[in-house]
Every structure is written in structure tokens, then in C-alpha cells.
Amino acid sequence: MVLIEQADEWLFRLVNLSMVHPAADDLMVFLTNGTLSAPIVFLLACFIVIRRGKSGLLVILLAVLALGLADFIASGLLKPIVQRIRPCFALNHVRLLVSQSHSYSFASSHAANSAAVATVMWIYFHRGELVEKIFTITTLLYALAISFSRVYVGVHYPGDVLAGMLVGISSSLFMYLLFSWGFKNFIQPRIMRHTALD
């Protein structure tokens, strides 16, 4: 366990202190700030509705539910249980680029939430037309960039981010399977009965 923590700290210092450039600082602050990303989320929702019409609203609903579950697991369960101190408060000589409250570090809710949304997009769009495949790849890269930014700005260890991504992916897969099971066992039979009566 100590070896894992040492490797996590070494990777953190590599990203936070060595893999830096002044030109990248503003970009990383933008990526890590959820309120600044609101226009991107709006464009994402517009693309889903344009490509899928009314059924796109279900995709958005599933993404919101997966995000909510991921956030609850990361912030509501793991952080109070693990109680890991953020690197910006636990280590010396950290480049802290954003203001940060003294909340716990493990797991990263930013990584969990972005991975949850990206996974839902992958589920529904990765087999589509070229524009949908490009959309899927862009969404995945954006989620990875958000996760990376959390280490870059000094508020998470890489292990926190990796755990958050796994939480997000698992939450999306769980919600998708739950939705599919509910549709197959409850909604689809009612639609078929209604169609038969007509």
C-alpha cells in the first residue's frame, strides 16, 4: 500500500511540477472549472437531440442519472470513507492553480462525472455515422482532459482520478443495464399489448 501511495505521489509531482507550461495553465483551469464548461454541455445536449430526436431526451436522462450516481458514489460514499487529504494540502511545493476547499480527495468527482457522461455517449453513438463517431471520440477526449486537469491544477492525485473514472464508467454501465432491463420487462410488453389491441 505504501508503494502504491509513493507511486501516486511521484506521478502527481510529474504532472503538477514537470509536465507544465504557462500556456497550458489557463486551459487546465478552464477544463477543471465546471461552470465554465456549461456551454460545452449545452452543445453536447443539442447534438444528442438533433441526432436522435425525442429518443435523445432519454439519452440525456440516462446521462444525468449516471452522473448523479457517479457523483454520489465518489463524493457521498468514497470521500467520507477514505478521507484522503488533497495533495495541495498534504504535500509541499504544489502548483495550486485554483481555490480549493478542504474536502477530501479520493475519489475525484470531476473524473467520475465526466467519465459517466462520456460512457453514455459511447454506448449510444460509437457505432453511428462518422459524425457520431467523431462526437464520441471528442467526448471521451474531453473527459480525459478534465480528469488530467485535476492533477495538473494540484487538487487530486492520479489515483483519485483513476478511481473516479472507474466509478463513472461503472455507474453508466449500471444505469444502462437497469434501463434496458426495465424497458424489456415493463415498457416493451405494454407497448406490444397496446399495439395488439389497436
d(CA 129, CA 147) in angstroms, rounded, equals 27
pLDDT over 60 (residue 11): yes
pLDDT over 70 (residue 194): no
CB 142 within 8 A of CB 24: no
The stretch 130-152 carries a mean pLDDT of: 96
pTM passes above 0.85: yes
Q: What is the pLDDT of residue 122?
A: 97
Write down the mean pLDDT value for the chain: 92
Cell of 42: 449545452
Q: What percentage of the chain has pLDDT greater than the value 70?
A: 95
The stretch 157-183 carries a mean pLDDT of: 95
d(CA 26, CA 174) in angstroms, rounded, equals 35
| pLDDT tens profile 87-98 | 999 999 999 999
For residues 33, 35, 41, 42, the Cα torsion angle rounded to the nearest 10 degrees is -150
pLDDT over 60 (residue 198): no
- Domain ranges within the chain, ordered by starting residue: 26-197
Task: Give CATH for domain 26-197.
Answer: 1.10.606.20
| pLDDT tens profile 93-130 | 999 999 888 899 999 999 999 999 999 999 999 999 99
